[in-house]
Structure 1
């Protein structure tokens, strides 16, 4: 009976998290995380106990399988290939930003620690089945929150990192100066920066989980970032602004949650 209750609780944890995926933004993440934590407290307490050193390994294995198998079953029930592919990104994001961090949070109490045996095994099963074909990795609430707080050129940094360019490369330095010396000098520019910081970390996470991430980043470099740099060099700063907005909107529509 207890195992059945835990299984139901795990399925509820996944469904609740999926329902609130559109709240994964800088301004709403902390509050949404706590809502999910409180709303699934009983289940999370059971999972925390399952991660103790003297816990039953068979019980832990059973818990680790519930969500991956449940998610795969839900996806297998979707007949439309296009709709199913859209859910691939949503399901992986749900696991990465809510489910895995929630389980780690319940065990480690908001420390940077990751890798408890339950989440390690859950991730292994998710990737082995595979549930979506996208790569799922360890994550924690604290690390995600610190990512939201860091004022970085997220997308440009991800693109340059994918191309093995250093953090002080010409492209990054040019766009940072453009941000600080041009956009940040006006109210509309500051608002644009805030909106960017609200969604860009999530976009980078979503793209980073895809098997074709290197190809996506190379396309962004050729079609958006390099043209933006050329516009800045020609002092066409407003044209650069419009092109960068187009890039962010296209990424959000194509790769972020449905």
Structure 2
């Protein structure tokens, strides 16, 4: 797979592909270009029979500090109709959908801040291991936008439980790695020095599994989550997010 990306670092070692968010100067914040490049990688993996495991990580001090906060108002200033912002939100949902439906097993390698869109990307991975210094937060409500990015709400509720997600979203409170493990947001907590070893410990046996069996198993696991996503209307999250951002921008301009 070619590595001519501006926001990602993509490397392969046998059946394991490593995809690293590579905007460390911005806390690996997710912007439109990163979403486009992630889609490119995920689509290429659908036609790559050699890769069995994809590891998603972040460069620098943090996995991901959320969405690029400067992009929403910039897009609305450029296009007050909201069509470009709507396209960005749709792209985020397509990335998260492709990540969850990928035929290979995905492992999120987490460290530092895992916030907002970063937590969204993480929970759409099959397995998640985090350093004991991780800090998690869903700050959207505190920032004046609904938690609609990428259709994350039903996935997060499916993984962590409705009651806890309600608290975390409405209060926008931060929580640590141990709490994330209790909520099943993390499957395992290790020291920062042991992160790579933990990923390898999972990836090696998975890479030896029959790919058809893995693909069917993932499809079975995704079937229930897909029904939940449809039931809560998350397929319309791009419209909700755009409408909320436009309303907030308009109120600021008064």
Give the TM-score normalised by structure 1: 0.30
Q: Please tell me whether Structure 1 or Structure 2 has the larger radius of gyration of its CA atoms.
A: 1
Which structure shows the higher strand fraction? Answer: 2
Give the TM-score normalised by structure 2: 0.31
Which structure shows the higher helix fraction? Answer: 1
